[in-house]
Amino acid sequence: MRQITLHRLQSIMRECAGENEDAQPLADAANRTFEELGYDSLALLETQSRIHREFGVALPDEAVVTSSTPQAIVDHVNGLVNAR
């Protein structure tokens, strides 16, 4: 089962929603909120859809909010992947 990494999450977000505001590696910003990184709710909606397509897991809407962080998303996705 393939797991998501911060690096892969960054590639997905860069492709579907553009680079974050400081072009900072997500590995260094794993616990900053998406809002701080300059991503809005639509960017996260798009990310949620890409993750679903690539990893086959559906993140609940309440997990995909601008107050969440890259690390929280990675953990949530991998939790769902492992539970399958």
Partner 1 sequence: MTTAVVTGLGVAAPNGLGHERFWSATLRGESGIGPVRRFDASRYPSRLAGEVPEFDPDEHLPKRLIPQTDRMTQLALAAADWALTDAGVQPGTYDTEQMGVSTAGASGGLEFGQRELDNLWGKGPQHVSVYMSFAWFYAVNSGQISIRHAMRGPAGVFVGDQAGGLDAVAQARRNIRKGLRLVMSGGADSSLCPYGWVSRMSGTQLSTRDDPNRAYLPFDVDAHGHVPGEGGAILVVEDADSARSRGARAYGEIAGYGASFDAAPRHGGQPGLRRAAEVALADAGLEPADIGVVFADGSGSTEQDGVEAATITSVFGAGAVPVTVPKTMTGRMNSGGAPVDLACALLALRDGVIPPTINVRTVDPAYEIDLVTGTPRRWKPKAALVLARGTGGFNSAMVLRAAG
Whole-angstrom Cα distance, residue 61 to residue 8? 20
Q: Where are the beta strands (DSSP E) in 9-80?
A: none
Closer to partner 1 by CB, 36 or 46: give it: 46
Q: Is 21 in the site for partner 1 (CB under 8 A)?
A: yes
The answer to whether 73 touches 20, Cβ cutoff 8 Å, is: no
On whether the CB atoms of residues 44 and 60 are closer than 8 A, the answer is no
In whole angstroms, the minimum distance from the beta carbon of 70 to partner 1 comes to 16
Q: Closest distance between partner 1 and the C-beta of residue 49, in Å?
A: 6
Positions that interact with partner 1 (CB under 8 A) = 14-21, 23, 38-39, 42-43, 45-46, 49, 52-53
